[in-house]
Amino acid sequence: MPPCARVPYQIRYRIRSAEGSYRWVISAGRPRYDEAGRFVGYVGSLIDVHDHTVATAELARANALLDAVFQSAPVGLAFLDRETRFRQLNDRLAEFNGLSIADHIGRTPQELFPEFADLSSIVSSIRDVGTSGRARLEMEVSGTTLDAPGTPRHSNVSFFPVTVAGERVGVGIVAAEITEQKRAERELRDSARRKDEFLAMLAHELRNPLAPIQNAVRLMGVTEPGSAAHATARAIIDRQLSHIVRLVDDLLDVSRLSRGKLSIRREPTELTAVVRETAADLQQSFDDRAIRLEVVLPDRSVWTDGDRTRLAQLIGNLLHNALKFTPAGGTVRVRLTTDADGETATIHVKDTGIGMTPELVARAFDEFSQGNQSLDRTPGGLGLGLALVKRFAELHGGRVEAFSEGLGRGSSFVVHLPARFSAQPVAPVDATVS
């Protein structure tokens, strides 16, 4: 039915056919007037637009589906016209480039990314694909983007020609970000390099004690039992064997930790006594190197629920590390404190040794990490001691930190452990042992 208002009209609606099916039609008409200007009715038509309406709806659904696929793709997608201007791209590529989709439209890569390191090769590839009609697949490009100007990003990019009705209209782009993959590859290479260095160091460290042991055995063969020379030889063998045992123990602990096989036996443990006794056990080593060892303890017992053996190993590894990298005449201080609530104990080992670069501080607790990797260095060790410190602290619910103001300015290592303060006082200790 035409509307009451006497104006032209056009209405789209469905009608039911005699067979019971429905079809879309358009009813259109305009008012008619007689010679006196009186309205006499409408002149109109009824047009069957069913096929056109269905085709249009299907095309809209197909376009919506294509756009959903385009925008949902886990890779960056874009279309550039023959002048290499962006005409369409998805959110993923816009996010990677650090610009909105609107910022891209109508602009070329040269206008958008003038500082991109591989810009010239990208533009050259786009133009070559557009001219030759041959795709360029998996081109690796690198550079910085506007959202992270100081951070290099990497992507794998493919360019392919786009043809419509036999006419080449532009170039399509598929870009997959591989920044994390590159980082993982770099870490794998670094890990492999550190392990290679570690194996070389292990051979060197195991060989070092064998020479004096061999010499001591020969000396024992030509000296009288009970003589001073014989006793000296036995002391050399005992000392060097202790060194080998420590190396092997570290290797076994790291292996157990990496396989999740190392457990700790928690029980109430007095940290104050563990620090004091561990420092006393190593006093002779510090004396032999002419290094001053200072031990500072609180005037009340500090307890934790932990494994006494592993805690002693943790503290011992920190002191061994300080001993290795502090020259004669230097000072190493180990200090035990708690926070105001007595809920956290802090073991602080500070030395006046060779210090660390910021890069070394960042990886101080990595396995096989050392500050000086030359085989003829004096300190020795396998780069496992601090890694074990970190793992033992974590097994006790704690954490570790490393600090250094730079080379030649010493280092500090801090271990935080859950603790509780005892109400029972102990003899005050602010001992300096040299």
Q: Tell me: the pLDDT tens digits for 249-287?
A: 777 776 776 666 667 788 999 999 999 999 998 898 899
Helices and strands, number each (H, E), in the chain: 11, 17
Q: Which residue has the higher pLDDT, 87 or 380?
A: 87
Which domains, ranges and CATH numbers included, belong to the chain?
A: 1-72 (2.10.70.100), 73-177 (3.30.450.20), 185-258 (1.10.287), 267-433 (3.30.565.10)
Position 208 confidence tier, pLDDT thresholds 50, 70, 90: low
Edge-to-edge strand list for the sheet holding 39-48: 9-16, 22-33, 39-48
Hey, how many other C-beta atoms are within 10 angstroms of the C-beta on 300?
Answer: 16
Position 240 confidence tier, pLDDT thresholds 50, 70, 90: confident
Tell me which H or E stretch contains 295.
strand 292-297
Q: Tell me: the pLDDT tens digits for 362-397?
A: 888 886 555 544 333 344 455 677 888 998 899 899
Pairwise CA distance, residues 227 & 130, whole Å: 91
Q: Which residue has the higher pLDDT, 235 or 428?
A: 235
Q: Mean pLDDT across the chain, nearest whole number?
A: 84
